[in-house]
Amino acid sequence: MSRLYTQEHEWIDVDGSTATVGITDYAQGQLGDVVFVDLPESGRAVTKGGEAAVVESVKAASDVYAPVSGTVTEANPALADDPSLVNSAPEGDGWFFKLTLSDASELDGLMDKAAYEAFVASL
């Protein structure tokens, strides 16, 4: 499984044609304490760069964008009960949704871990 990153601070784990999406530790740190997450419904089509979810913190509400196009297969049910998982485990149990890729070539424009860390360091 490979993990890739976007400039909007989403991560995506890809395993075949299935992917899991969340926000990075950097992103949750910028947001502050997360109090609510609005996740996409299963079956919803998302497009690369399009709004897929909303995360609300004590500071602000922010859109979460789809790193690639696809069809949502599952939203993380744990976030409904405990949105603070986004803060405590942003790159683990605090994932947002899973999807089936519609175009694997869209992964080509995303960053690997080293490139993402260099990007964050430049901010």
Digit-coded pLDDT (tens) for 63-92:
999 999 999 999 999 999 999 999 999 999
- For the whole model, what pTM was predicted? 0.96
Query: How high is the mean pLDDT of the chain?
Result: 97
CATH number reported for the structural domain that contains residue 79 in this entry: 2.40.50.100
Residue 7 lies in a domain: yes
Question: Does pLDDT of 1 surpass 80?
Answer: no
Which CB contacts under 8 angstroms, 24+ apart, belong to 34-37?
A: 34/83, 34/84, 34/86, 34/87, 35/83, 36/83, 37/79, 37/80, 37/83, 37/86, 37/96
Q: Which residue has tokens 């609300």?
A: 56
Distance from C-alpha of 59 to C-alpha of 50, rounded to nearest angstrom:
23
Residue 122 lies in a domain: no
The tally of domains found in the chain comes to 1
